[in-house]
Amino acid sequence: MPYIKTIRIYYEIHGPDEAPPLVLIEGIWQDSWMWFRQIPDFSKKYRCIVFDNRGIGRTSKPDSPYSIKMMVDDILALLNELNVPKAHILGVSFGGFIAQQFAISYPEKTISLIIATSHFGGKNYIQMEKKDLALMVASQTETISKEQALEMRLSVGHSEEFLKSNRKLINQTLIWREQHQAPDYSRLHQFRAALDVDLENDLHKITSQTLIIQGTKDKLVPPENAKLLNQKISNSEIFYIEGGPHWISIENFEEFNQAILEFLNKQ
């Protein structure tokens, strides 16, 4: 693991050394397990660089404020450590904020940009409904068990049908989540970094070809946000996954992977 000042970053590399590099940036409170349905497909033609963001997984968890720019510079330091001059950048959800900021700050290091189930923050993005926000942050109380709170959180990111018919898979992902559980303070630092995101006025600085991929049934990031991103980012295109929830990378992975690979293969 490389050290960036006081930060130790956990990372993995999958795919041929000579292949074009692809950086995969996961969502809030998630670590590198999240790409289990992408790596088998993407690593056939791309050098996949997956890692745990600051505050999560096996990466350092400093108890001080985090920011999206800070996380972008963590990625830059990682790429420098790996002698990667530029890469394709893919971010999902919270990772989409980081991906956008990377392309804004370092256009010369961004071969192409993929933003999945994300938005640009600030005052003008379309927010989730309050009832879904309450479900997303559900936690154990005197009247809500740990298991009930977990089901509430899962219901926002996945379709009801998927949760009912894929319990074995869901249980496996829960095991992965628990393996490297982050402390409350670092989860809070990530959450506050997400609340501070406001990228709208800088999106014109993105010069790379950009794919915006979005599920039409996303409760966490309403699908209208994809169109707002498309209007602000030149050379961008939208791919909608019909009926897809927030975690399309897991639930609709075949369509998700195919759309991304087709986009990457054109670059």
Convert the pLDDT of each residue in 221-239 to its tens digit: 999 999 999 999 999 999 9
Task: Write down the pTM of the prediction.
Answer: 0.94
User: Can you tell me the distance from the alpha carbon of 210 to that of 198, in angstroms, rounded to the nearest whole number?
Assistant: 19
* Exposed e or buried b per residue across 247-257, where buried means at least 16 C-beta atoms within 10 angstroms of its C-beta: bbbbbbbebbb
What CATH number is given for 3-128+183-265 in this structure? 3.40.50.1820
Domain boundaries, the chain: 3-128+183-265
User: Can you tell me the distance from the alpha carbon of 207 to that of 233, in angstroms, rounded to the nearest whole number?
Assistant: 8
Which residue is listed with tokens 């791919």?
239
Are 237 and 211 a contacting pair, CB within 8 Å? Answer: yes
Tens-place pLDDT, residues 134-184? 887 777 676 677 777 777 888 889 999 999 999 999 889 888 888 888 899
